[in-house]
């Protein structure tokens, strides 16, 4: 049986993009700091069969609330494959799969194979998606393909009941993987609202699927996150992130950042398609895509999702809409006197795509690799595991929290999981003060507050706080330097403040 040429091109495109991703990923044998939380979860599943519901090392002990299926999937691969394959190749395979699903969606909407292939190519080089999934072992490497596959099945729901079964399975999987499944439900409700406002008929199958999904997800979210809801109230939306860093997580959306994160051409044509189908034309299929774009944009504007996460979800949606606009643009040129210059238009698009998508994607990949944990940091924390007490508490900067617990197997004072941590903001202020104060008394007071035994002073901490040394560590009685290699110092805290 002869394989169609477009499938060969798609396969080559998949291999090329995945190869580029792996080229960057394998430039270091280590990972981004956030990845070490995933590694701990996978290792715990392999050891006990269960994920970390109660983490004795994070903040010195706390409960965790999230979906765990992604960790089980990686753990299943880890039973038969080496670490580097599981943590670098598998997530990048998941992430690269968006080009196949993008091809299927765009082909269905445009009925044009070349445009579908070009859209798949564009999807493969979304800068923000490159940045967050190339070496983070990020759950979004699987979440984004699931959303796109869900959209594809929804588009074809009216054709066969098998699509309804796949949709339900995807929703259940999504719920077990990540709480961002709520974004999917909000988008579906927006879709029903758009159909109602435009006077278009609502299919029985769609209504049943959407109502069932809404009830299931809302009920399960409230059951799972009951304690965080009771502890934080509406603030659970912002994950109890300290105010000091909240503005960086949920900052305002700017045009320049949007262009850099998504790419100029997908952004412009995607936004134009939204405008066209909201105010000039009606199309059921496009309203489904537009509903996702509208929902994510509104959540970004209201600061209900962080800028990075919002861009991760919005970018592939805009690429779908880009494909539709690109087809319209080519059809328009063919009807004008400029038709003879059609190839020139395509060349302009390709060059623009290279400048505003591929180059930023490569720059993002390089930045992501620069953020990796270094060999020196791994060696220092491995040394700490061997030369410290099992119940020791280690102080490092916020971003190093998960690395400290994963490599040294010792408790941290602070990491990026803030839910149910009542004093998270106070802890962050204390750490910031510790690394900047010249006062030995103030430093010891902070260490006493959290029972800190060791201080991990890395080049990243030095750069973050613009200091090369901790002034108070000159007191050898209270601060014993037990490790000093490759610009990393580890100090043993020996003193406490007497109660008066």
Q: How many CB atoms lie within 10 A of CB 339?
A: 12
Q: What is the pLDDT of residue 352?
A: 79
Task: Give residue-wise pLDDT tens across range 63-90.
Answer: 887 889 999 999 999 999 999 999 999 9
Contact 413, 43 (CB under 8 A): no
Q: How many CB atoms lie within 10 A of CB 112?
A: 17
CA–CA separation, 133 vs 262, rounded Å? 14
Q: Is 341 a residue whose pLDDT tops 70? A: no
What are 456's strand-pairing partners?
490
pLDDT confidence band for 3 (50 / 70 / 90): low
DSSP H helical ranges for 49-161: 69-78, 83-84, 90-96, 98-110, 113-123, 127-133, 140-155
What are 85's strand-pairing partners?
none
Contact 408, 381 (CB under 8 A): yes
CA–CA separation, 236 vs 420, rounded Å? 9
CA–CA separation, 175 vs 216, rounded Å? 9
Half-sphere exposure in the Cβ direction for 222 (13 Å, CA)? 5
CA–CA separation, 21 vs 281, rounded Å? 39
3-state SS, residue 487: coil
β-bridge pairing 393-395 and 411-412: parallel
DSSP H helical ranges for 388-476: 401-403, 424-434, 440-450, 459-465
For helices 140-155 and 98-110, the axis angle rounded to 10 degrees is 20
pTM: 0.92
CA–CA separation, 33 vs 399, rounded Å? 6
Task: Give residue-wise pLDDT tens across range 11-48.
Answer: 999 999 999 999 999 999 999 999 999 999 999 999 99
Contact 409, 357 (CB under 8 A): no
Q: Which residue has the higher pLDDT, 219 or 233?
A: 219
What are 490's strand-pairing partners?
456, 483
Q: What is the pLDDT of residue 136?
A: 92
Sequence-distant (6+) residues with CB within 8 A of 208 are: none
């Amino acid at each position: 049986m002869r394989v169609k040429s477009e499938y060969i091109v798609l396969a080559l495109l998949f291999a090329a993009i995945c190869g580029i991703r792996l080229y960057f990923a394998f430039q270091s044998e280590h990972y981004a700091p956030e990845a070490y939380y995933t590694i701990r979860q996978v290792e715990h599943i392999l050891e006990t069969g269960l994920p970390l519901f109660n983490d004795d090392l994070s903040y010195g002990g706390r409960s965790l609330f999230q979906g765990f299926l992604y960790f089980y999937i990686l753990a299943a691969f880890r039973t038969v494959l080496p670490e580097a394959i599981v943590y670098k190749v598998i997530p990048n395979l998941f992430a690269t799969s968006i080009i196949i699903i993008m091809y299927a969606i765009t082909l269905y909407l445009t009925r044009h194979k070349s445009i579908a292939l070009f859209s798949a190519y564009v999807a493969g080089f979304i800068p923000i998606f490159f940045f967050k999934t190339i070496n983070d072992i990020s759950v979004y490497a699987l979440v984004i393909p699931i959303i796109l596959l869900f959209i594809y099945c929804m588009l074809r729901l009216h054709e066969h009941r098998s699509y309804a079964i796949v949709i339900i399975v995807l929703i259940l999987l999504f719920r077990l993987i990540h709480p961002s499944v709520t974004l999917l439900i909000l988008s579906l409700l927006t879709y029903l609202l758009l159909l109602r406002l435009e006077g278009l008929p609502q299919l029985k199958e769609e209504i049943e699927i959407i109502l069932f999904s809404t009830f299931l997800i809302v009920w399960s979210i409230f059951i799972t996150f009951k304690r965080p809801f009771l502890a934080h109230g509406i603030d659970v939306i912002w994950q109890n992130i300290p105010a000091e860093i909240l503005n960086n997580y949920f900052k305002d959306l700017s045009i320049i950042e949007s262009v850099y994160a998504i790419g100029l051409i997908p952004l412009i044509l995607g936004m134009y398609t939204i405008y066209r189908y909201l105010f000039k034309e009606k199309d059921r299929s496009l309203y489904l895509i537009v509903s996702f774009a509208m929902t994510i944009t509104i959540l970004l504007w209201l600061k209900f999702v962080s800028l990075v996460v919002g861009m991760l979800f919005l970018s592939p949606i805009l690429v779908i809409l880009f494909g539709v606009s690109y087809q319209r643009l080519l059809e328009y040129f063919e009807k004008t006197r400029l038709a003879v210059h059609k190839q020139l238009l395509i060349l302009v698009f390709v060059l623009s795509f290279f400048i505003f998508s591929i180059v930023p994607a490569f720059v993002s990949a390089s930045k992501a690799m620069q953020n990796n944990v270094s060999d020196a940091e791994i060696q220092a924390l491995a040394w700490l595991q061997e030369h410290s007490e099992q119940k020791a508490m280690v102080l490092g900067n916020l971003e190093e929290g998960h690395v400290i617990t994963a490599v040294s197997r010792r408790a941290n004072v602070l990491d990026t999981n803030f839910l149910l941590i009542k004093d998270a903001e106070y802890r962050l202020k204390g750490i910031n003060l510790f690394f900047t104060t010249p006062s030995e008394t103030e430093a010891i007071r902070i260490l006493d507050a959290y029972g800190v035994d060791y201080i991990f002073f890395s080049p990243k901490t030095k750069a973050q706080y613009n200091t090369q040394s901790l002034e108070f560590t000159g007191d050898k009685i209270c601060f014993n330097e037990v490790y000093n290699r490759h610009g990393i110092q580890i100090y043993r805290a020996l003193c406490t403040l007497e109660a008066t």
